[in-house]
Structure 1
């Protein structure tokens, strides 16, 4: 089996694994009442850009090989690191969804009786779901040896992250006040001890 095919299969399995983890939470979230939201055109555009980078472009490459001109020959170390990153991303997704439970939301929503989650994986990191997506985007870059499809996840998700993190933290501070400010003081955004 070629490294290109191995990477493509691993990417598909990572995406399927992500959806299997997310599906029950997404279904439950549709039934939960939202008391405050920051959804709107800006959020829709951020999500569309992220989805294009993490889904559309890599999916097109895996399905058709497009854009062929940007494809290169990967090395075994790259494929191995991509597999490890994909596994780590799925573990992080599972831990974040488990910790959030009923508080999970795909977007910037506050639920009725919303509680600030500060335990489990959230004990040291405020946004481990974003850590998981960064890891998924890195896995994609390593698994898909195409300068456009591989790197599109980092660009697409990076756009969502940097445009959303400020409004999200402002919403959390508005909702939870001093509790959230204290939580921010003792935690990192996405990487413990770094950022």
Structure 2
């Protein structure tokens, strides 16, 4: 098996693992009553589609067909090993975030009935560890898929979702939790502990 084939398989295993990890949490979250879903709109669906394009569709086309070939380059062993390690870290953080959020998790911006603000565990240092996990996934994709379009597509696609969504999400949390959220925001960073 070539290094490129291994890298593509590793990326695909990571994506499938992400989906499998999410299934039980998605089922649990669907059973919860939603108190505030005003952000479930066309803008949100467009942002989710852009993220899916970058983290799923474009890299899947490349992994399956090699298209676009002109943007490809040979991978290195170090690059692929780093990609596998980063993807594993992303999946671990993703699982821990889902586990901690439990019934309060949702794909779109929602406040559940009797929603509590989670500030411990992985939420102790960053307010959006799930976004941190997605950025790590994007970084792993850039390392595992040696193509100047398919590789960084995840960071670009998810980055667009993040920067157009995070302010609205934080405003929604502020409205729901008031001073408690403001105090939490002052002592934490968004996605990188101690930095941003």
- When normalised by structure 2's length, the TM-score is 0.97
Q: Deviation digits for residues 82-101 of structure 1, max 9, x if unmatched?
A: 01111110110011011101
Aligned to 1:70: 71
Q: Distance in 1 between the 2:90 and 2:68 partners? A: 26
Question: How far is 1:29 from its partner?
Answer: 1.7
Aligned to 2:14: 14
Q: Deviation digits for residues 139-173 of structure 1, max 9, x if unmatched?
A: 00000011111110011000000000000000000
Question: How far is 1:5 from its partner?
Answer: 0.7
Aligned to 2:28: 28
- When normalised by structure 1's length, the TM-score is 0.98
Q: Distance in 2 between the 1:71 and 1:124 partners? A: 37
Question: How far is 1:116 from its partner?
Answer: 0.5
Question: How far is 1:70 from its partner?
Answer: 1.2
Structure 1 unaligned regions, length at least 5: none
Aligned to 2:5: 5
Q: Distance in 2 between the 1:194 and 1:3 partners? A: 34
Q: Deviation digits for residues 101-155 of structure 1, max 9, x if unmatched?
A: 1111111001001110111111111000000000000000000011111110011
Q: Distance in 2 between the 1:123 and 1:13 partners? A: 30
- For the residue of structure 1 that corresponds to 2:151, the secondary structure is coil
What is the correspondence of 1:95-174 to structure 2 with a 5 Å cutoff? 95-174=96-175
Question: How far is 1:4 from its partner?
Answer: 0.9
Structure 1 stretches of 4+ moved >2 Å? none
Of residues 65-74 and 124-133 in structure 1, the stretch that sits farther from structure 2 once superposed is: 65-74
Structure 2 unaligned regions, length at least 5: none
Aligned to 2:177: 176
Aligned to 2:91: 90
Is residue 29–residue 102 contact of structure 2 (8 Å, CA) maintained in 1?
A: no
Of residues 182-191 and 26-35 in structure 1, the stretch that sits farther from structure 2 once superposed is: 26-35
Q: Distance in 1 between the 2:120 and 2:17 partners? A: 24
How many corresponding residue pairs?
195
